[in-house]
Structure 1
Amino acid sequence: MDAYWITMLFLLGACVGSFLNVVVWRLPRGESIVFPASHCPACGRAIRWYDNIPLVSWFVLRGRCRDCKVRISPRYVIVEALTAVLVAGLYAGFYVLRVRRGTGEFLHTWPMFAAHAALLCGLLACALVDIEKWIVPLEVCWFVSLVGVAAGAASPPAKELLPLVSPATGAMGLAAVVGLGVSLLLTRYGVLTPSFVDATDAPLSEDPEPARRIAGKKKSRRDKDQPAPPAVAITKAHGVNPRREVLREVLFLAPAFALAIGAYLLVTRVGWVADRWHAWNSQAAAGPFARHFAALQAAVWGYLVGGLWIWGTRILGTLAFGKEAMGMGDVHILAAVGAVCGWVVPSIAFFVAPFFALLWAVVLVLRRNQRELPYGPWLAVATLVVVVFYDYFAANLQPMFRTLELLREGNLP
């Protein structure tokens, strides 16, 4: 039976990879991922269905368009193959090799598997776009986050796969989400102003190509018509004061923190509110609802903690060094990881990612013809490593961080 599922998921993954190619190409260019149908970027001719079979058509056509004979990048078939391996490999890891505790049987835990598969596919898409354009497609992160929260709430996985939080922590998380919604409304109606909206795309200088050199990429014939990747960090040379701009983000987060603190005080200090809230979280009182409600809170808390690791670093780093630290796209990436995996995986991935980034920095020093890469791909790689080797990380970190175990079991107030 395992061979059947691995084969089917490999084929499904290849089809998803074909769709990811559309996402990676169109989203950064502001195009619809639905219309028009797949077509050759060179001649514009629609691609026939038999020329669009994942993992097959590219080789049959020998990497060229059937109509105009223009070469088709091998990246398309590579993405299809990589996605197929990721999806099938995830099944093999969870259900054959049992690299994670709590995975259970596939037919019973497939929503959890689907959420993790969506996460890996989404991370691949984000990494590819980030490498090429130095931006993160937020729509992909939002989709993965919604899938993670929905899957967790609809079919709660084992606590090893979605660490639970205490009722008080869950209340703080839900209140913080309401606070973020309030901030979005205030931004929508102009009460709050987004940060860095007035920053120029390149430093204010007489040099015609500063951003390209800052990004560590020399101009070539291949990319002369492509927009230069943005500067690694926005500074005062871009026409804004980064420290002042990042304070706008602090104001944006203020309602979330205020409501989270208020919710904590309500469910821990006000007797009748605390009793009612704990009843909703008690299986004895609320029945099966409590299990789904607890999983919802765990996914929401994971979303918030994942995003806050990056956002907090961004704010503190910008205030300390006077230039933009980290990107908002990275905030959404790690938030999506938390929505699917809970708060522990993004917390560990946050500290693992710098090691991969440092390895690439060594490569840059040794081979100067290599281009600098943004941070998003390293967050994606770190997440994959932590998802696969989570049990190893947890076993070694629990003696150092007893709080992790207490929160996972819901024993902290």
Structure 2
Amino acid sequence: MRGGAWMRGGRWAVAGVLAGLLATSGTVAAAKGGQSDGWGQDFYLSDSFAAEANAVFTFGVQTDRYWVGDWDGDGVDTIGSRNLTNVFSVRNSNTTGGPDRQFGYGRAWDTVLVGDWNGDGTDTMTVRRGMVYHVKNSLSGGAADVVLPYGKATDEVLVGDWDGDGRDTFAVRRGAQYFVKNSLSGGPADQVVVYGRPADEVLVGDWDGDGRDTFAVRRGRVYHIADSIRPGQADRVVVYGRENDGVLVGDWDGDGVDSLGVHRLRPALQRVPDGSVTAGALAGVDATSGKVDPRNGRLSHSALCPIPFLPTHAVQCRAVADLVAFDRAYRARFGAPLPINPAPLTTYRSYEDQQYLWAETGPPTAARPGASPHGYGLAVDFGGRTDIEFGRQPYLWLRDNGPRFGWHNMPWNRENGSNPEPWHFDYRG
């Protein structure tokens, strides 16, 4: 595989009916071959390190997770996705359209890695469970072709062709130290190197076309690229995309050199269908009744406003000022933005969004379409990169201070309530 993406390690909090969207255990970081850390089905790929994208297209749906691979062995990397279950879809061109192939492999909660494990020029999936890797050499379901242990269950895992033999293998990252293995086997690393900082996001690619993969670190929208596995300064520093983009690495044009791509969610008001309900008609609605309401999920654009510090997501306009004040107080206490989960559908959900989640997950995980408090634009789910757990910070602060700004973890969502969800807050301002 020529390229990939990175996913930050750590435990992701499950957000309400989005339980199927987020991994929930272990450190699942990966670079080349790993799941992208971002959300959104709009892709912008660059064949060089220029600021402008050469390919712009749409693939999948907003709740999919994404990987990069050469699925058909033509030398060009393209996009693959997994839905809320274990079904993978791959497309063999970087253009808008449906999948060229679909198959099921592993379990919905597995950590997935992609690579050319046998050197046949085609990328396939591996699932990781703790420190055990189940390697598959074809795009199909069924038993793994190779099962092996490597490293520790808490390791961040990278995938690359480190020695230029045409086969991808693993490396594990512990802080700023990398343990590189040139074969699919256990035992000591073949190379140990330090690069970057422990908190860096890491990417892997063949940046100079010499057939060997090396590291790059991402800091915001700045990328520090090294053309060999060694400590020291980067060989190149480039700027691409936006800080909150999901990042991809691949050989998008088959020239043997990997470059960058990003994907992102569309702004909230572009992806929410227009309806006939206005803000005035909803002013007195009880967002937490749980009853099916024909107005639920059918708010018009005039009733919705993007959240200023998370503009891909929207709530009812009348709730925005209090949400911004809540954010200011949170930043003063924790030094970071209010942790609204950046996954899709964690704020307003259209009726179509609710139908999709109902079909994918059903009760009790999902609310019946037309009954979700998110359908009024008066609910948010916290989490994502921040753990939201009963009895721990920042949940305790959110619970105790949210009511000052009209945002409540309602009694039935508390730890001993009928529907315990520490991440879910309703606006009652």
Q: TM-score range by the shorter chain?
A: under 0.3
Bigger relative contact order (CA 8 A; separation at least 6): 1
Q: Which has the higher strand share?
A: 2
The structure number with the bigger radius of gyration is 1
Structure in which a larger fraction of residues adopt helix: 1
Calculate the TM-score normalised by the size of structure 2.
0.24
TM-score, normalised to structure 1, is: 0.25
